[in-house]
Amino acid sequence: MPETSSLLEVCDVTLRYKTAQSLVTATQRVSFTVDKSDRCVLLGPSGCGKSTLLKAVGGYLVPSEGEIRIRGKRVSGPGADRMMVFQEFDQLLPWKTVLQNVMFPLIVAHRLTRRQAEERARAYIEKVKLTRAVDALPHTLSGGMKQRVAIARGMAMEPDILLMDEPFAALDALTRRRMQDELLQLWEDTKFTVLFVTHSIAEAIRIGNRILLLSPHPGRVKAEVDDVEAANSTEGGATRLEGQINDLLFMDDAVGASHE
């Protein structure tokens, strides 16, 4: 295996899935890399295969072409080195309390003892400000709290990369805004690496330091935005970038190519 500096490498990945009638190509020859401590956002309209791509990185789908490498090692199946945070609220195990939900993967995947697992779980639950709810069962929590638990669970595993599949999409606008800020705050603390999927341009600009724009049918990388933070620091920069990205996404392929 070639030793490379990138944490995650996606090389010429084509993903296809079968429906009852046809073979659908979700992404075609997509390549990108994610470095350590990146907040990389996959952005695109629905149907651009961004969630499918994330699932492939998670190991749930096998690329029909190309390969995905994490720390130079080929991804061959789901594993705890790539923790997923899903959009759905039912991703927590309903028979376990908040604490047990965070502890469980630490015990089964990292083989920590109960004491070590509990200690680490409590630390991360405190980070997402849920200390009051450690013994609550998931069905008693609000949507935002459930997503916080899922994030704490993912972070407690200290994975190579955290894969987030539109984690805030099902939340109301106010909660979503707050969760975005909290995620950034957490990133400031621990500098974890995250690959984040969203269809909201504004969210991509708030969350990411790099944005990959995907075009639909089939998904291809259309453009890449680096140093996204620069837009947030200047006045009106974010709005301007949002406009630019919007134009890029809804332009024809030919025009998009000349723009680059």
Partner 1 sequence: MNEPRITIHSAVAIDSGMDAVVVERKLSPFERLWASATIRKTCLVVVLGVIWQAYASHVDNPLLFPSLSETLKSFVDHSIDGTLPLRVWSSMKILLMGYACGTALAAVMTVLAINTQIGTDLLETLTAMFNPLPAIALLPLALIWFGLGSGSVVFVLIHSVMWAVALNTHSGFLAVSQTLRMVGRNYGLRGIGYVTRILVPAAFPSILTGLKIGWAFAWRTLIAAELVFGVSSGHGGIGWFIFENRNMLDTPAVFAGLLTVIIIGLLVENLIFRTLERRTVRRWGSQS
- Where does this chain bind partner 1 (CB under 8 A)? 58, 60, 77-80, 82-84, 86, 88, 90-91, 93-95, 104-105, 108-109, 137-140
Close Cβ partners of 98 (under 8 Å, ≥ 6 residues apart): 92, 125, 130, 133, 134, 135, 136, 137, 138, 141, 149
Smallest gap from Cβ 167 to partner 1, in A, equals: 12
Smallest gap from Cβ 104 to partner 1, in A, equals: 7
**30 vs 84, beta carbon nearer partner 1:** 84
Closest CA to 101 of 127, 77, 121, 116: 121
Instruction: Quickly count: other Cβ atoms within 10 Å of residue 52's Cβ.
Output: 20
**80 vs 251, beta carbon nearer partner 1:** 80
**167 vs 220, beta carbon nearer partner 1:** 167
Instruction: Quickly count: other Cβ atoms within 10 Å of residue 67's Cβ.
Output: 14
State both tokens at 8: 């995650």
Smallest gap from Cβ 88 to partner 1, in A, equals: 5
172, 206 Cβ separation under 8 angstroms: no
Smallest gap from Cβ 141 to partner 1, in A, equals: 10
**118 vs 165, beta carbon nearer partner 1:** 165
Smallest gap from Cβ 55 to partner 1, in A, equals: 8
Q: Could you give the CA distance from residue 136 to residue 198 in angstroms, rounded to a whole number?
A: 29
**137 vs 184, beta carbon nearer partner 1:** 137
Residue 77 sits at the vertex; the CA angle it makes with 76 and 80, to the nearest 5 degrees, is 120
